Structure 1
Amino acid sequence: MPIRFRKRTPFGPLKFNFTQSGMSSWGMKIGPWSWNSRTKKNSIDLPGPLSWRQR
């Protein structure tokens, strides 16, 4: 099993994800809303154990 390099660097509401080959994706979280560049998903954290996602 090979060893992988992964690093997440926050920059305000943005989070950049790096792998051995460079930047793999970035995401944004503002309050309960978040978005990911790789999966193109929107999600909203709802009260309690609930959440909503859209592709």
Structure 2
Amino acid sequence: MGVMLRKRKKFGPLILHFTQNGFSSWSIKIGRWSWNSRAKAHRVDLPGPLHWKQDKSGT
């Protein structure tokens, strides 16, 4: 398996994600809540190593 190159650029609450092929997706993070354009999923960070995620299908 090869090595994957990933990079993030943060501009305040906006995060741009890049891979070795170029631009991948963008995210917005406000406090403990975040949303990703590729996964179209909401995520809330919970205390400790836990998080809650709701994907685009609502499950």
Q: Give TM-score scaled by structure 2 length.
A: 0.72
State the alpha-carbon separation in 2 of the partners of residues 23 and 53 from structure 1.
24
Segments of 5+ residues of structure 1 without an aligned counterpart are none
- Give the TM-score normalised by structure 1: 0.76
Report the count of equivalent residues. 54
Identity of aligned residues (%): 56
Structure 1 residue 6 displacement after superposition: 2.4
Q: Answer 1 or 2: which has greater strand percent.
A: 1
Cα gap change, 1:4/1:43 in structure 2, threshold over 3 Å: closer, same or farther?
Answer: closer
1:21 Cα shift? 3.0
| Aligned-residue CA RMSD (Å) | 1.7
2:30 is matched with: 30
Change (3 A) 1:2 1:52: closer
Q: Distance in 2 between matches of 1:5 and 1:51?
A: 25
Distance 1:19 1:53 in 2: 23
Q: CA deviation at 1:53?
A: 1.1
